[in-house]
Amino acid sequence: MANLVWLRDDLRLADNPALAAASARAEPTCFVYVLDEESPGLRPFGAAQRWWLHYAVAGLAADLSRKGQRLVLRRGAAAKVIPTLAAAIGADRVFWNRRYGHGAIVDEKVRLALRRRPVETFSANLLFEPSAIQNDEGKPFRAFSAFWRRAASGPAPRQPRPSPRRLPPPVQDVSGDQIEDWRLIPTAPDWSGRIRGTWQPGERGARKRLAAFIAASASRYATERDRPGSFATSMLSPHLRFGEISPHQLWHAVEGAAAGKIRSELGWREFAWHTLDAFPDMAKRNINQAFDALPWEEPYEDDMWAWRRGRTGFPIVDAGMRQLWQTGWMHNRVRMIAASFLTKDLLVDWRLGEAWFWDTLVDADPANNPFNWQWVAGTGLHAQPFFRIFNPVLQGERFDPDGAYVRTYVPELAALPAKYIHKPWAAPEHVLTRAGVRLGETYPLPLADHSAARARALNAFLQIRQKRNAQTL
């Protein structure tokens, strides 16, 4: 008798229901991770995620090895790989933790391909299953406030489970790939140096990050989370994305005055995943189909390059984009500002920005990345209204008042006084000279006139509204 445990976005030993259930049977067990870049609907990992995946998988393999087990690596379409492996080891039962959206569709294909072989699935990476949080009509909620009220009115999320004291013995003579064969980390060139210095992928890294957050930042989270220069956020998002820590572990780790806000942010993450389950193509299509007619501008390549590399001339946007490029991560408030600038000031289709974040963020996941882009663009559920357009100067002055964040990532402006750090073009010439800033040379002039861009975006929104009104007459 043997068991097969298929690991995916749950690369941890602790609070892993599928792993725990298989371990409780004490029968020879094969743990497998499948790099599936072939199944329809599953998005291939972006470059930054591939870097993280290499070390996350290697870390899990090492953790399993310390307990006398091994992680088998296979590559290919899951509906072929998993049934083939199950047959090869004579698996009596297959275990996995549930996925959502297109992941759930692929999992159902695997289940069918396993024929009569029993499958046990578990809830592991969400606090609440999508089927458990629905409106009075039995449909998904379309507004976060109503969604979170319903979730908060029910049973509290379960307590996290510890790592099994012992793991079952491995199934012998099972072949697999070497992680190096997958070529996940960049080599020519290797651009990951600053990212390596920022992160420690894996379950151990997640535990360290959580402990540091609880000790140093959690108490300030509710009041300072929107200030990118205060370092009050947890930076646990990539660990959650790869399942190196579960939302249940974070939920029960926080306490005190900040717990409510931290837990509501976990609720926002839940809302994104529940929305993905209802709209699997969220990364490709507007949830609000009225915006299919929005007249997006054909982006100039120079403008896209300037946005991607943090050369827009708006310091808070540029600081965020450079933080992203250097570390694979960006503060959430600045993500909204940068996304608003692209979709509202430049009137560029949100899908182009979402694709860039997908490639460069270590924490980009199939739900939160497109969900939040649609929220900022105004095309999604419970979206920020399209006519609410962030002013990058005012946002910078409000959330980075002393310019600490900008000075960190836009060092050519570091000597400017706080009064001008978010609008260097407004500084007198002698102030610029003293700070060593030459606009148009050492730092670019603004890529857009925000007032004019705002008017253009509002006009585009009005066109959509007028068209919608005309169709309802």
- Ordered structural domains, the chain, with CATH: 2-123 (3.40.50.620), 126-159+201-278 (1.25.40.80), 289-467 (1.10.579.10)
Q: Each residue of 206-259: pLDDT tens digit?
A: 999 999 999 999 999 999 999 999 989 999 999 999 999 999 999 999 988 789
Q: Each residue of 175-213: pLDDT tens digit?
A: 999 999 999 999 888 899 899 999 999 999 999 999 999
Asked if residues 410 and 322 have their Cβ atoms less than 8 Å apart, the reply is yes
The reported pLDDT for the residue numbered 299 is: 87
- Answer yes or no: is pLDDT of 354 > 70: yes
Token pair for 93: 């039962």
Q: DSSP assignment of 335-382, as one string?
A: HHHHHHIIIIIS---HHHHHHHHHHH-TT--TTHHHHHHHHHHT-STT
Task: For 297, list phi and psi in degrees, rounded to 5.
Answer: -80, 145
- How far is the CA of 473 from the CAs of 127, 294, 329, 454, in angstroms? 43, 20, 46, 29
CA 119/CA 1 separation, integer angstroms:
15
The reported pLDDT for the residue numbered 472 is: 45
For residue 157, how far is the Cα from the chain centroid?
22
Q: Which helix (H) or strand (E) holds 91?
A: strand 91-97
The reported pLDDT for the residue numbered 468 is: 65
CA 310/CA 408 separation, integer angstroms:
13
- Answer yes or no: is pLDDT of 385 > 80: no
The reported pLDDT for the residue numbered 212 is: 96
- Answer yes or no: is pLDDT of 35 > 70: yes
Token pair for 133: 């949080």
Residue 249, C-beta contacts closer than 8 angstroms, at least 6 positions apart? 14, 15, 160, 210
- How far is the CA of 392 from the CAs of 192, 212, 224, 231, 439, in angstroms? 29, 31, 19, 20, 18
CA 264/CA 147 separation, integer angstroms:
11
The reported pLDDT for the residue numbered 358 is: 98
Neighbours of 444 (CB within 10 A): 16
- Answer yes or no: is pLDDT of 285 > 50: yes
Q: Each residue of 451-464: pLDDT tens digit?
A: 999 999 999 888 88
In this structure, of 49-53, 76-80, 289-293, the range with the lowest mean pLDDT score is 289-293
The pTM (predicted TM-score) of the whole model is 0.96
Q: Each residue of 323-345: pLDDT tens digit?
A: 999 999 999 999 999 999 999 99
